[in-house]
Amino acid sequence: MRSRYCAFSRGHVPYLQKSWAVETRPLILTLDPAQAWTGLTIEHHEVTGPDTARVRFTAMWRKGTLTGRMTETSRFRREGENWVGTDEAKFVWRSTAEYLTDSSQFETLENQARLQMPISNFFDAVAGVRLDTPKGEDRVYGVIGLHGLAPQWFEVDADLYLGEASAARFEAEYEGLITNRIILTPSVELEVPLNDDEQLGVGAFAPTLELGARLSYDLIDRAVSPYIGVHYERSFGETGDLARAEGESRDNLFFVVGTKVLF
């Protein structure tokens, strides 16, 4: 509720459309630029189901010399990444993998258990643990970082992974609605190793940059969304040199096809 109020107050239509239930979302949303939202009070909050809630709120506004308030009750349902808890604390489980089709095996498999606590209207502090099963022995890292919405409504993660092969990672993506169901999501990821590790093929402070874009279609609300996309990856410095020594390229271009499933 608070994030939608902030979007109304800043006039950010794309976020309002993205966070609007697809079955009632207007195709075109126009805001009055002369109307300023000046305050929000949550009157009552009621959990109505495992993934639903009802919120009664009052929003204050000003338009020229006129002022007023709007009180209404809205229904919300959870859609998005897996999490349990409340807005005051979230437990998030993330899993990412890279699968090699030529050798029929995972090149990397990364799982993170993260606890997120709000520190502002738009950002959460993050602490947790990450388990990697890359080439060789499994690796365990501690995780600290930030997750939230940056200006212009970019979703960002800035994480520090502390362990045998410590690294810093920055990720950002933006969901742009082409229609109510077709979404274009450009993304950028920069990972900087903090020490040398030949087994992982990385050199200290020699980053890897990944740029990508996915085009998805919401088949069932946001629960099932097939997508196609393209990703470009480049390794720099010693990390790139180690890749070449292994017979690999500094640059890689990937075409991706898949389905995002939220449950």
Regarding whether 209 and 155 lie in a shared domain, the answer is no
Query: What pLDDT is recorded for position 104?
Result: 64
Regarding whether 120 and 44 lie in a shared domain, the answer is no
Distances (CA, A) of 26 to 22, 29, 56, 63, 64: 8, 6, 22, 24, 27
Regarding whether 66 and 28 lie in a shared domain, the answer is yes
Regarding whether 133 and 63 lie in a shared domain, the answer is no
Domain that holds residue 120: 80-164
Regarding whether 72 and 6 lie in a shared domain, the answer is yes
Cross-strand pairs, 35: 63
Pick out the chain residues at pLDDT < 70.
79-89, 99-107, 121, 134-136, 180, 221-223, 262-263
Regarding whether 127 and 172 lie in a shared domain, the answer is no
Query: What pLDDT is recorded for position 83?
Result: 40
Regarding whether 180 and 150 lie in a shared domain, the answer is no
Number of domains in the chain: 3
Question: Whose structure tokens read 């991706």?
Answer: 256
* Residue at a domain's end among 146, 164, 182: 164
Regarding whether 53 and 143 lie in a shared domain, the answer is no
What CATH number corresponds to the domain at position 31? 3.10.450.50
Regarding whether 236 and 177 lie in a shared domain, the answer is yes
Alpha-carbon gap, residue 137 to 26, rounded angstroms? 51
Regarding whether 263 and 170 lie in a shared domain, the answer is yes
Query: In the sheet where 35-49 sits, what is the strand order?
Result: 35-49, 52-63, 66-77
Regarding whether 115 and 196 lie in a shared domain, the answer is no
* Residue at a domain's end among 30, 52, 77: 77
Regarding whether 260 and 191 lie in a shared domain, the answer is yes
Q: Are 50 and 82 in contact (CB under 8 A)?
A: no
* Residue at a domain's end among 164, 179, 201: 164
Query: What pLDDT is recorded for position 84?
Result: 40
Neighbours of 240 (CB within 10 A): 20
Predicted TM-score (pTM) of the model is: 0.68
pLDDT tens digit string along 145-169? 999 878 777 889 999 999 988 999 9
